Structure 1
Amino acid sequence: MKNVKLIGSLLIGVFVFIACGSDNDSVNDDTTNETIYDIRNVLSKFDNIDAVTYSVSGNTLTIQTINLPNHKSPYWGVGHEMYEAYNGTNPNWNQNPGSIGEQNITFRIPLNPSEAENKATTPMGPIGIARNGIVFFNQYAAGGAPLTNEINSFDQYLGHPANTQYHYHIKPKFLTDTFGEDAFLGILSDGFPVYGSVENGQTITNDDLDAYHGHVSPTVDFPDGIYHYHITNEDPYLNGSGFFGTPGSVTR
């Protein structure tokens, strides 16, 4: 009889433990040591952006963008209402032959991202989306070359087109000028958010980040903490050795 009472007490204890642990914004699965997050907190940042629409279905966030910047650039072309001649600070600036053109790009991103067991390298082309609907590219120029020379074609807001697909490889200056260096700047394809180069009043350097160019800490949008990337002012700028989480899909 004592054994029956003991087993009953243990079962009640297990039930209470499970019930009490079921209401967290992020869940730590003890069997895999995997923390799962929820990025709904930042979706409103994409509201009122003409280039972007988004929807949620189950665990998938779908973001569609026409990828037209909401800021001026020489790449709009003379005569366009958004045209502005280069007025940045790079004395070696040289306009590339591309121009800004409307795109049709769809991201399907995990709404509840978690660390991937096997990390994937970032592809060439879009690896994420900024809060103004412009796509992020990784830290490489065409052919996997360093950005050293290609940087000279970045406009005053530090973006440029590949043919007609405008994108950012490094800090999106229009967004940091508008929202601050510590602001939420966008999401990568694995669902983890991207922030600027300042956190808690301190400038983030590569030494503060892991191999994937991120870390776990609280942010304004995620006060309980979340893994997130930072855009720093030195190579690899946005992403390091690949995605920290499992990337979704990109179609264009």
Structure 2
Amino acid sequence: MKNYKIMMLLFAFLSFGCSSDEDNLDSGNDQSTSDTVYDIRSIVSKFDNIDGVTYSINGDFLEITTNGLPDHKSPYWEQGNVMYEAYNGTNPNWNKNPNTIQAQNITFKIPLYPKEATIKEATSLGPIGISLNGVAFFNQYAGPNNQPLTNEINSFDQYLGHPQNSGQYHYHIEPVYLTSKLGKSSFLGLLADGFPVYGPEENGGTITNSDLDDYHGHVSVTPDFPNGIYHYHITSDDPYLNGSGYYGTPGNVSQ
């Protein structure tokens, strides 16, 4: 009888231990996804009257087509172009790349009702969004295999953009032409998942990477969304614009 009681106590102890481990495992794997659906139709009109940009609403998507040409001067325009301006920025290590700005034909199909994706998708090289002057946003990498911008950043012009080998001008980091014109807390454009991109300031303070999540955004009230919305922020440090991928599900980008 004594042996039987000992065996029963041992069985109860082991059962409790297994149950506790499983509970801890389940708790550790609880990664909830927000089911909030946002509506960005109120900011679509901000793309009105932009040279080289047209858009239409088709069902639940905003389709924006752009020629990708910046509306500001740059040393990357052909020298005979009235928009040509020699580099006059502040980077002592500036080094012009061999490319010149060329017109593009890029179409973004962007969700009008973005929500957090259950499975996050990495951004690709090339256009990941569109800025408020029709110039494409690129991610934080200079090339395949997550090459950092360490050297490439020295080829950014005075407005912190540059063209790649097909002449597609783009921004990886703060588009200072827009932030100087619109303000550093302003709406600057959209990523392909439908979530807005804002400048490096909010509520009178400078946003840093520590204020943002892994995707380089957060939920808060903005001047355009008084009830709050998830949005990305430009920051002065890597990853600058977008972190570990899209927060939402991206639409299509074709060119």
Q: TM-score, normalised by structure 2?
A: 0.86
Code of the aligned partner of 2:243:
G
**Alignment RMSD (CA, Å):** 0.8
Code of the aligned partner of 1:141:
A
C-alpha change, 1:33 and 1:181, in structure 2 (3 Å) is closer
Match of 1:28 in 2: none
1:195-247 Cα offsets, whole Å, 9 max, x none, are 00000001000000000000000000000000000000000000000000000
1:93-104 equivalences in 2 (<5 Å): 93-104=94-105
Q: In the alignment, does 2:118 pair up with 1:84?
A: no
Name the CA distance, whole Å, in 2 between partners of 1:205 and 1:40.
Answer: 28
Shift of 1:33: 4.7
Match of 2:243 in 1: 240
2:159 equivalent among 157, 167, 185: 157
2:201 equivalent among 198, 211, 214: 198
Code of the aligned partner of 1:162:
Q
C-alpha change, 1:33 and 1:98, in structure 2 (3 Å) is closer
Code of the aligned partner of 1:132:
N
- SS at the partner of 2:210? helix
Shift of 1:45: 1.3
Which structure 1 residue ranges, 5 or more long, are not aligned? 1-31
Asked if the contact 2:189/2:196 (under 8 Å) is kept, the reply is: yes
1:158-178 Cα offsets, whole Å, 9 max, x none, are 000002000000000100010
Name the CA distance, whole Å, in 2 between partners of 1:41 and 1:95.
Answer: 39
Shift of 1:118: 0.1
1:184-223 equivalences in 2 (<5 Å): 184-223=187-226
Which structure 2 residue ranges, 5 or more long, are not aligned? 1-32
- SS at the partner of 2:222? coil
- SS at the partner of 2:188? strand
Code of the aligned partner of 1:176:
T
Q: TM-score, normalised by structure 1?
A: 0.87
Name the CA distance, whole Å, in 1 between partners of 2:58 and 2:65.
Answer: 14
Code of the aligned partner of 1:209:
L
Match of 1:166 in 2: 169
Asked if the contact 2:40/2:194 (under 8 Å) is kept, the reply is: yes
Shift of 1:47: 0.9
1:61-76 equivalences in 2 (<5 Å): 61-76=62-77
Code of the aligned partner of 2:225:
F
Corresponding pairs, count: 221
Percent identity, please: 68
Code of the aligned partner of 1:232:
T
